[in-house]
Amino acid sequence: MTTSVQDQNNRFSAMMKAAQAGDGHAYSRLLSEITPRIRRIIQRKRAFQNVQDIEDLVQDVLLSLHSVRATYDPQRPFFPWLLAIVRNRLADGARRYARGSRNEILVDELPVTFADESANIEKILYRDPDQLKQAIEQLPRGQREAIKMLKLKEMTLKEASSQTGTSISSLKVSVHRGIAALRRSLGSKE
Amino acid sequence: MDTNSLIQKLASNSKPTRPLSNPWARTAIWLAISVPYVLFVVLIISPREDILEKLGNSRFLIEQFAALATGITAAVAAFASTIPGYNRKYLLLPALPLSAWLGTLGVGCLLDFSHYGVHGTPFHADWFCIPGIVIVGAIPGFAIALMLKRGAPLTPTLSTAFAGLAAAGIGDFGLRLFHPEDTGLVVLIWQFGTVFILSLLAGWVGRYVLSWRLRITAEKRQLAAQ
């Protein structure tokens, strides 16, 4: 161990001893000084993880260190004690990360919107956009406009109401009837 | 919470903490709790009638010494395994007395085989060994589990397996002071087997008893209560 590392070790050891005696200032200084080192070690070992995950690990190490601060023997060097905790928590973190990744399934598009099949009937039936377009054009004018504005352009009821001059309740009725008519016409053609 | 706020919270939550003694000193404390209890159980159940004769039997003494040494060194290894940065060579400490114990039991079996012949060697089921070792090892096991909880859960399975070996080792040591069963094969399978299985079971519960998650959750709860 070089002299500067040894000095630092002795300084941290003294701060930890003071922290064990209940000196909050010494503990705060110690944690503030070792945190960048812990962060560097984690960044080096977990280069593939994002900044937030690395910061979570840093905090995890700090909490772990705090929970076992009684295991530090002031007669022994500080760094091996600290590094043992960091290594152990990193190994634990790696196991958690691997478990989490194993349970994640990456898909481009979810095959259904809901687990309940009946909730996906429309998506299954209306596969032909041209057919749907034609069916919408054949609806009465009020229903057609309501469907276009509220379902295709995704306008709010308030916006559609002010644009058409129709009341919100009439729009709701038109949409409801329009969808029922579309379901009937598209369903009958299947 | 950002890291600086966490540091401030931890520092303001820092109460005086007594550092843990070294593993040897902790083992001495554990023995100070365990040995009187083991002797108490032996006296309550009453020592075997041939105890004085057995104390002059070198094979019995070696086996008992090996069982006790296994228990003590397993306790040292268990405590050392919960100290971050402690020399990992301490984990090998029980290997020697454990091998010696197994070796003496093996030699005992061979002596019985040569005396009675392979087919004539006495063997019977000795179910009493299981509750016997559990009863004698209960308080030592409970004490070491409580003491381990103050350490760091670096290797929970290994720590509690060593703790199980320590408690069961000392349990077997006590058992043989009141249970008059010395047949080599019975001692090897029923007594050493029980010690082995109890150590495995203790190792299996390790991650439930000693875990970072429990420690960190407790710390977070304390911080939240601030």
pLDDT over 90 (residue A118):
no
Task: Give the residue, B184 or A97, on which the prediction is more confident.
Answer: B184
Whether B1 maps to a domain, the answer reads no
Confirm or reject contact between B82 and chain A (CB < 8 A).
yes
The ipTM value here is 0.84
* A contact residues 75-114, partner B, Cβ 8 Å cutoff: 76-77, 80-85, 88-89, 92
**CB–CB of A27 and B11 under 8 A?**
yes
User: Do residues A97 and A123 share a domain?
Assistant: no
User: Do residues A70 and A125 share a domain?
Assistant: no
What tens digit of pLDDT does each residue of A24-67 get?
A: 899 999 999 999 999 999 999 888 878 888 898 999 999 999 99
What pLDDT score does B187 carry?
87
**Nearest Cα residue in chain B from A77:** B85
Domain count, chain B: 1
Proportion of chain B above pLDDT 90, given as a percent: 61
User: Do residues A155 and A83 share a domain?
Assistant: no
Name every chain A residue with its beta carbon within 8 A of the beta carbon of B22: 73
- What is the average pLDDT across A163-167? 84
Name every chain A residue with its beta carbon within 8 A of the beta carbon of B18: 20, 70
Q: Which domain holds residue B62?
A: 20-225
Residue A135 pLDDT level (bands cut at 50, 70, 90): confident
Say which residues have a Cβ less than 8 Å from residue B192's Cβ, sequence separation at least 6. Answer: B101, B102, B105, B172
Q: Which of A103, A127, A145 is the last residue of a domain?
A: A103
Burial of A114 (0-12, 13-18, 19+ CB in 10 A): exposed
Q: B148 vs chain A: nearest CA distance in angstroms? A: 11
Task: Give the residue, A156 or B93, on which the prediction is more confident.
Answer: B93
Distance CA B205, CA B221 (A): 24
pLDDT over 50 (residue B27):
yes
User: Do residues A10 and A98 share a domain?
Assistant: yes
Q: Which of A101-110, A135-144, B183-192, B197-206 has the lowest mean pLDDT?
A: A101-110
Q: Which domain holds residue A40?
A: 3-103
Amino acid at B72: I
**∠ Cα B192 B193 B197 (to 5°):** 120
User: Do residues A11 and A89 share a domain?
Assistant: yes
**CB–CB of B84 and A21 under 8 A?**
no
Say which residues have a Cβ less than 8 Å from residue B159's Cβ, sequence separation at least 6. Answer: B78, B81, B82, B148, B151, B153, B206, B210
Q: Which residues of A127-146 are buried (b: 16+ CB within 10 A; e: fewer)?
A: eeeeebeebbeebeebbbbb
User: How many other C-beta atoms are found inside a 10 Å radius of the C-beta of residue A58?
Assistant: 22
pTM: 0.75
Q: Which of A68, A103, A138 is the last residue of a domain?
A: A103
- What is the average pLDDT across B91-99? 94
Of A19, A23, A88, the CB nearest to B154: A88
Token look-up 């937030």 returns A52
Name every chain A residue with its beta carbon within 8 A of the beta carbon of B152: 64, 68, 71, 85, 88
User: How many other C-beta atoms are found inside a 10 Å radius of the C-beta of residue B214?
Assistant: 14
User: Do residues A97 and A132 share a domain?
Assistant: no
Whether A181 maps to a domain, the answer reads yes
Whether A108 maps to a domain, the answer reads no
User: Do residues A32 and A99 share a domain?
Assistant: yes
**CB–CB of A85 and B3 under 8 A?**
no
Burial of B49 (0-12, 13-18, 19+ CB in 10 A): exposed
CATH number at residue A139: 1.10.10.10
Report chain A's mean pLDDT, rounded to a whole number.
83
* Tokens (6 digits) for B10: 């931890």
Whether B131 maps to a domain, the answer reads yes
Report chain B's mean pLDDT, rounded to a whole number.
91
Amino acid at B141: G
Whether B100 maps to a domain, the answer reads yes
- What is the average pLDDT across B187-200? 92
User: Do residues A52 and A130 share a domain?
Assistant: no
Tell me if B29 sits within 8 A of B21, measured CB to CB: yes
- What is the average pLDDT across A80-99? 87
Whether A70 maps to a domain, the answer reads yes
What pLDDT score does A188 carry?
59
Interface contacts (A, B; CB < 8 Å): 102
What pLDDT score does A190 carry?
46
Say which residues have a Cβ less than 8 Å from residue A116's Cβ, sequence separation at least 6. Answer: none
Of A59, A62, A71, the CB nearest to B20: A71
What pLDDT score does A127 carry?
63
What pLDDT score does B117 carry?
79
- What is the average pLDDT across A132-160? 86
- What is the average pLDDT across B17-32? 95
Q: Which of A46, A75, A103 is the last residue of a domain?
A: A103
CATH number at residue A24: 1.10.1740.10
User: How many other C-beta atoms are found inside a 10 Å radius of the C-beta of residue B95?
Assistant: 12
What tens digit of pLDDT does each residue of B124-183 get?
A: 888 888 999 999 999 999 999 999 999 999 999 999 999 999 999 999 999 999 988 878
What tens digit of pLDDT does each residue of A63-83 get?
A: 999 999 999 998 899 999 999
What pLDDT score does B13 carry?
80
**Nearest Cα residue in chain B from A21:** B16
What tens digit of pLDDT does each residue of B104-131 get?
A: 999 888 888 888 877 777 788 888 889 9
Q: B32 vs chain A: nearest CA distance in angstroms? A: 21
